[in-house]
Amino acid sequence: MAIYLLITLDTKADEAWVVRERLRELGLDVCVVDTGCLGEPPWPAEVTRESVFAAAGTSVKEMQNAGDRGQAVTAAALGAATVVEAAHAAGKLSAVMGLGGSAGTTIATTAMQRLPIGIPKVMVSTLASGQVRPYVGDKDIVMMNSVVDIAGMNRISRQILGNAAAAVAGMVQHRQPAQADDKRLIAATMFGVTTPCVQHARQYLEQAGFEVLVFHATGNGGQAMESLIREGVIDGVLDVTTTELADELFGGVLSAGPDRLSAAADVGIPQVVSVGATDMVNFGPRESVPDQFETRQFLVHNPTVTLMRTTDDENRQIGQAIGRKVAQSRGPTEVFLPLQGVSAIDQDGQPFDSPSARQRLFEALIENAGTIPCHALDAHINDPSFAQAMAQRLLKLIQSHKLSNELPS
């Protein structure tokens, strides 16, 4: 097995050579994948640029003739992703490492995102100190800031690249072994303001013999959960905290995209859904909130997080969205509604308490949920009784789903 090093050899051959030799010194095999398209590489890669672009259904010559850098980067990313995916399937790949600026980062991380969680992935990038979510996505990609541009070797770049090579080597040589665990997996969503609910439900589910994966509903967390559901590794979903849909609808910074709350419905696994933290839309520092919301009700959670209370009409729209999504479920699905509040700050005496907003939310959800059972409990979302009711129902749905699948057709 080898570490696949993705790099444009026409512009970054010196850096590739240093990293390759350092990895070899550490006793590891390296497969250099040339994703360049311009000048000729000074030395041959194990996977040539011709092979990379052929894997994308095109050729180096065709890309050069087109003269479109963006098109070439897109093709290189597709080709590199195809190459590493095939190498992993064939048992030839132990890790992936990339070096580059904006183009190199796009190419390498596109390939990394095609690999399962657990495969070491390290990207040394000029963009690593900024907004890296487009590059990391929902995978375990390590972004390492190059500090200086990746444009020739110097005392800074030599130190950074050496550390990056050592990091990859350590991941490969001391990789966490896969545990032989036959526990079935449940995915749950949590936010700070729904933590008591999820913690109580998690304890109950673990006592029943399940392993619970808790995802922080900050956009990336929801995306990661949806991805794992589609990969077929999740047996049931306790979707307590659907706040990411509020951010998607109303411009918050923690959206998980329009497909949030779709995977379990599409795959057909059991899910129990609630409306945790839909009383808020999330922004960064107070001064970063768009001017269009200036008259709204805010709560400064901390210097970097500002919460905006959702209005009655916005709650109606959130309820419609959740109702329509659960109505599409192919598997057993039920909804639980906490009449006394949907977050720690949405209850009597707290700043976001709004019975009218909750009423609009619940009514719209029930109206759009079709035949999906909706249970309205006279409790707050963080009450132990509410958490236990959701957990108990999910266990029953999983059990009945398992039995129905075992029955002869």
Domain presence at residue 179: no
pLDDT top residue among 40 and 17: 17
pLDDT value at residue 406: 61
- Predicted confidence (pLDDT) at residue 180 exceeds the cutoff of 60: no
Q: State how far the Cα of 297 lies from the Cα of 240, in Å rounded to an integer.
A: 24
Q: What percent of the chain has pLDDT over 70?
A: 98
> In the chain, how many domains are there?
2
Q: 């619940």: which residue's tokens?
A: 362
133 C-beta neighbours (distance < 10 Å), count: 11
**What is the arithmetic mean of pLDDT over 4-13?**
95
Residues 268 and 161 in one domain: no
Last residue of a domain, one of 129, 152, 173: 173
Q: Is residue 237 domain-shared with residue 95, that is, in the same domain?
A: no
Instruction: Name the band, by pLDDT with cuts 50, 70 and 90, for residue 68.
Output: confident
Strands of the sheet with 121-125, listed across from one edge: 30-34, 2-7, 93-100, 121-125, 142-145
* pLDDT at residue 80, as a whole number: 97
Q: What is the pLDDT at residue 408? A: 54
Which residues are bridge partners to 282 per DSSP? 307
Residue 131: pLDDT band (50, 70, 90) is: confident
pLDDT of amino acid 216: 95
Model confidence at 101, in pLDDT bands (50, 70, 90)?
very high
The answer to whether residues 110 and 259 belong to one domain is no
Query: What range defines the domain where residue 159 resides?
Result: 2-173
Q: What is the pLDDT of residues 295-327, one digit of tens each?
A: 999 999 889 999 999 999 999 999 999 999 999
pLDDT digits (tens, 9 = 90+) for 153-164: 899 999 999 999
pLDDT of residue 120: 97
Boundary residue ending a domain (139, 173, 207)? 173
Same domain as 336, residue 210? yes
For residue range 376-400, what is the model confidence (pLDDT) as tens digits?
999 999 999 999 999 999 999 999 9
Contacts of 78 (CB under 8 A, 6+ apart): 55, 56, 57, 110
Single out the residue in 148, 173, 198 at which a domain terminates: 173
Q: Which residues, 6 or more positions from 301, have their beta carbon under 8 angstroms from its beta carbon?
A: 307
94 and 215 in a single domain? The answer is no
